[in-house]
A and B are shown apart, each in its own frame.
Chain A
Amino acid sequence: MEILMSIVSGILFMCATYLILSRSLLRVIIGTVLLSHGAHLMILTMGGLKQGTVPLLGENASSYTDPLPQALILTAIVISFGVTALFLVLAYRSYQELKTDDMNDLKGCEDDE
């Protein structure tokens, strides 16, 4: 199971990298979202999968799944959401001001040369 999940998150990383390398700002942001999905899945996988019940003490089970990775992922989800939201607005504003979303055109200013 863990090996399958490693492969799945590897594929997510692959697609994310491909998107991040593309020229459209839109695809870059979708790429970062996929990247965080892959990372979250990876954290969960590394904690070990299916080794007990839900980490709620009311269940009275003999073993629980590891709660620590879940707490870490929860934090990470919220943070990546915040960052994505900011990115989105930034992309929106930069398109408004610069009239392009092509990464090749977003290249310094002419004085740099």
Chain B
Amino acid sequence: MSLLHLLVLSPFLFAILVPFLYRYVRKVHTGWFVLILPLALFIYFLQFIKLTSSGEEVVRTFEWIPSLDINFTLHVDGLGLLFALLITGIGSLVTLYSIYYLSKDKEALHNFYVYLLLFMGAMLGVVLSDNLIVLYTFWEITSLSSFLLIGYWYKREKSRYGAQKSMLITVFGGLALLGGIILLYMMTGTFSIREIIANLDLLKGEALLLPALILVLLGAFTKSAQFPFHIWLPDAMEAPTPVSAYLHSATMVKAGIYLVARLSPVFSDHAAWFILISIFGISTLFWGSFSAVKQTDLKGILAFSTVSQLGMIMSLLGVGSASLHYDYLENNIFIVAVTAAIFHLINHATFKGSLFMVAGIVDHETGTRDIRKLGGLMGIMPVTFTIALIGSFSMAGIPPFNGFLSKEMFLTGMVNVLKMDIYHLETWGILLPVIAWVASVFTFVYSMILFFRTFTGKLQLEKLEKKPHEAPVGMLISPVILASLAVIFGFFPNILSSTLIIPAMKSILPTIAQSGREFDVEIKHWHGFTPELFMTIGIIVIGTILFLTVRKWSFIYERFPQKLALNHFYDQGLVGTERGSAWIMKSFMSGHIRDYLVYIFVFLSIISLSSLFVTNAFHLDVTNVAPIGVYEIILSLLAVGGAIITVLARTRMVAIIAAGVVGYTISLFFVIFRAPDLALTQLVVETISVALFLLCFFHLPEITKKQKRLRFRLLNLLVSIGVGFVVTMFGIASHSEKLFPSISKYFVEESYEKAGGKNIVNVILVDFRGFDTLFEITVLGIAAFGIFAIVKLRLTKRSEREHEGK
């Protein structure tokens, strides 16, 4: 186990310590101890930048289950490192923020930090694992810890609802991912991502490739809140704000993005990869930004905006994957989409993290997050105001912030789709830039709503629960850092290109990297008069108009029928499956033993008979059959008659006597079939049985004759005829087909020689097969004790007393 392994697992190890720290060091906020870890990890991971930017990778293997090809292999390359830095960097900032956000005295901090550390470790594991099974393991731990964090205030019903919803959806996707991983293993024979990418030829023309692709994408789409699986994200906003900032904007929701980026080399040859990712990404982008405008809760807006931005990154990755189809082109213009995806990934983490923290501050200092109650906070909270300005303007894509740059590149990437000549893009490809543009307009509108409704306008003091004031300095540190990063990346975007973006691109597009071409990433503010520039100007102009007139057109949201909302489908689906399964259970689990017996007998008859006739096993062979005598006919008639009288009897006495007749007839059968011991035993047992019957039924009531319904009896008759038929058929069939002679010859020959007895049956019972007899005696003993206990033990008294007590 290398140092890298220890560091990836260190959050888990540290999580063990947290409850002790919380318990025994009450004076210090537990968060301060936790803060050390992500900070140290961040600094540690910074060292790798030098390595990855020179194109090298670090691989460390620790054998976990080597016999199943499951090894805990860590692989640090450009893409993994980028995510690791995001996770640890924003993790540190969020921890710092949470120290001021969560009260030391009122909150269960040990729970919070344990969950948070679990999540951090799991996320590091996801992005650094090379083995798909290990990746899946960490993937599910992120779902689990996210579930715990969303339900942190578990006494609120909405938290529990949100936690359950996110759990159901992400675990659904997680299981799909596992299916995809297994299919990949079936095709390539390895779980290692690097090996799969190195042996891409194995996947060529495989029929399982498409199912694997779809399953993997299901996993990625559910985790990254892509349409229509985005519905869990807005409900996850019930989590504490640091959690929303960390999990639901910067890290966990990008796990799906990571997965798509990581497996792009594996699947991008397949047309479905490009088409599915682009279509789902672009529709998520549009739907998220469209829905964000109508939200009135700050975190609601941010949640839908996260959905929309994730869709944007996703669609960029989809378009970027097309660059592999133009490998041979000198000037591969589609690579820019990948650059834009990575750049926006970083930018989104900075501005969205800071905006969430701003929302948390506003909530913390005013007591509400409802934009209808907020307004005019500009003068009261100048620092928060500035951060929000940077964050929302960057999100809207206004220069000079970093969001502007990535939005420009995004538009470039989408416009470039027009130049593709694969998959009929020349005809429907125009949709992508158009939808992207419309979505960007909505992005602009909600960013402005978020900013202006909160900080400008009239201050409505009477509606606020607390008297607003500026947040404490400690709470502001993290958003200030993030906002200044947004500004720095805006003015000096190229400090990222050689350190983080190019190494990450090499991981996503390994085939292009291997061909020796260098990626030319030059992020510029000024491109000249390109279509993108006019599109951006259009976004700002139309967006401003729409923002100013938002009250006039927002009625369209009310027109949208509630029944078509995805949440409605989810809720109804959940209720429906619950009702459906309850209905199915009720329909056959009636509680009546008779019904269950009917199922058992019917299945027995159907399965036995069909197997008998399907396999053609039924024969009628009369060569070995003994002749029929008069006695046998008389006895048979007696037995059958007795049995039928038992069935038809109207009084218990008749039934008992008829059953006795059958029993004595059986012992007579034993006599004529030369089984004296059996005849004796049967005679005695039958006598005792009849006596017992009489004894017991003396206390029981007369046979109830309530079953008058004809259908009931007809069904019983049918079922019993079926069972009788099966038994007869099997009897005849198995007698007609003797496969080998009996082993009884041995018993006959050796009974006296070896065991010294002449009664062969008795010798078998106590000598050859004495074990049977031993346990048969045990059975009798148990029955006797059981009867004794049933008669003697009366435990009802206490419950009767309780009953009377009520």
**B-chain residues with CB within 8 Å of residue A82 when the two chains form the complex:** 779-780, 782-784
Question: B719 interface residue, CB < 8 Å from A?
Answer: yes
Complex: how many Å from CA A65 to CA B623? 18
Question: B544 interface residue, CB < 8 Å from A?
Answer: no
**Interface bits A69-91 vs B (CB < 8 Å: 1, else 0):** 01101110111011111101111
Distance in angstroms from A80 CB to nearest chain B CB is 8
One of B701, B703, B734, B761 near A71 (C-beta < 8 A)? B761
**A-chain residues with CB within 8 Å of residue B707 when the two chains form the complex:** 22-23
* CB atoms of A93 and B791 under 8 A apart: yes
Distance in angstroms from B702 CB to nearest chain A CB is 9
Distance in angstroms from B467 CB to nearest chain A CB is 54
Question: B270 interface residue, CB < 8 Å from A?
Answer: no
Interface residues of B in 759-799 (CB under 8 A from A): 759-761, 764-765, 769, 772-773, 776, 779-780, 782-784, 786-787, 790-791, 796
**B-chain residues with CB within 8 Å of residue A70 when the two chains form the complex:** 675, 677-678, 761
Of all chain A residues, the one with the shortest Cβ separation from B766 is A71
**A-chain residues with CB within 8 Å of residue B791 when the two chains form the complex:** 89, 93
**B-chain residues with CB within 8 Å of residue A30 when the two chains form the complex:** 646, 655-656, 659, 693
Complex: how many Å from CA A11 to CA B731? 12
Give the most central of B598, B673, B779: most A CB within 10 Å. Answer: B673
Complex: how many Å from CA A56 to CA B762? 10
**A-chain residues with CB within 8 Å of residue B704 when the two chains form the complex:** 23-24, 101-102
One of A3, A64, A65, A104 near B625 (C-beta < 8 A)? A3
One of B674, B706, B751, B782 near A53 (C-beta < 8 A)? B674
**A-chain residues with CB within 8 Å of residue B717 when the two chains form the complex:** 18
One of A46, A68, A77 near B681 (C-beta < 8 A)? A77
Given contacts A45-B735, A77-B681, contact A89 B787 (CB under 8 A): yes
Question: B666 interface residue, CB < 8 Å from A?
Answer: yes
Interface residues of B in 721-748 (CB under 8 A from A): 721, 723-725, 727-728, 731-732, 734-735, 742-744, 747-748
* CB atoms of B787 and A104 under 8 A apart: no
* CB atoms of A65 and B674 under 8 A apart: yes
Question: B570 interface residue, CB < 8 Å from A?
Answer: no
Given contacts A22-B707, A68-B742, A75-B765, contact A92 B700 (CB under 8 A): yes
* CB atoms of B626 and A2 under 8 A apart: yes
* CB atoms of B689 and A8 under 8 A apart: no
Distance in angstroms from B679 CB to nearest chain A CB is 10
* CB atoms of A84 and B689 under 8 A apart: yes
Interface size classification for chain A: 35 or more
Of all chain B residues, the one with the shortest Cβ separation from A71 is B764
Secondary structure class of chain B's binding surface, majority of residues: helix
* CB atoms of B765 and A50 under 8 A apart: no
**A-chain residues with CB within 8 Å of residue B652 when the two chains form the complex:** 26
One of B644, B681, B744 near A15 (C-beta < 8 A)? B644
Secondary structure class of chain A's binding surface, majority of residues: helix
**A-chain residues with CB within 8 Å of residue B627 when the two chains form the complex:** 1, 50
9 contacts between A and B (CB under 8 A): A2-B626, A10-B725, A21-B597, A37-B666, A50-B627, A58-B758, A78-B685, A88-B692, A103-B593
Q: Which of B279-287, B419-427, B632-640 lines the interface with chain A?
A: B632-640
Given contacts A45-B735, A48-B624, A50-B673, 4 further A-B contacts (CB under 8 A): A5-B731, A6-B732, A10-B725, A17-B723
**A-chain residues with CB within 8 Å of residue B805 when the two chains form the complex:** none
One of B640, B685, B747, B752 near A8 (C-beta < 8 A)? B640
* CB atoms of A21 and B744 under 8 A apart: no
* CB atoms of B682 and A12 under 8 A apart: no
**B-chain residues with CB within 8 Å of residue A53 when the two chains form the complex:** 674
Give the most central of B598, B666, B692, B790: most A CB within 10 Å. Answer: B666
* CB atoms of A86 and B787 under 8 A apart: yes
Interface residues of A in 36-54 (CB under 8 A from B): 37-38, 40-42, 44-54
Given contacts A2-B625, A49-B673, A78-B779, contact A10 B728 (CB under 8 A): yes
**A-chain residues with CB within 8 Å of residue B790 when the two chains form the complex:** 86, 89-90, 93
Complex: how many Å from CA A14 to CA B647? 10
Given contacts A1-B625, A4-B636, A68-B744, contact A26 B689 (CB under 8 A): no
Distance in angstroms from A66 CB to nearest chain B CB is 5
Of all chain A residues, the one with the shortest Cβ separation from B633 is A4
Question: B591 interface residue, CB < 8 Å from A?
Answer: yes
* CB atoms of A1 and B626 under 8 A apart: yes
**A-chain residues with CB within 8 Å of residue B636 when the two chains form the complex:** 4-5, 8
* CB atoms of A89 and B696 under 8 A apart: yes
Question: B803 interface residue, CB < 8 Å from A?
Answer: no
Question: B156 interface residue, CB < 8 Å from A?
Answer: no
**B-chain residues with CB within 8 Å of residue A45 when the two chains form the complex:** 731, 735
Complex: how many Å from CA A75 to CA B701? 33
* CB atoms of A26 and B666 under 8 A apart: no
One of B632, B633, B675, B727 near A44 (C-beta < 8 A)? B675
**B-chain residues with CB within 8 Å of residue A14 when the two chains form the complex:** 720-721, 723-725
One of B662, B685, B742 near A47 (C-beta < 8 A)? B742
Question: B572 interface residue, CB < 8 Å from A?
Answer: no
* CB atoms of A91 and B626 under 8 A apart: no
**B-chain residues with CB within 8 Å of residue A3 when the two chains form the complex:** 620, 622, 625, 732, 735
Distance in angstroms from B309 CB to nearest chain A CB is 50
* CB atoms of A1 and B663 under 8 A apart: no
**A-chain residues with CB within 8 Å of residue B773 when the two chains form the complex:** 75
**A-chain residues with CB within 8 Å of residue B723 when the two chains form the complex:** 13-14, 17
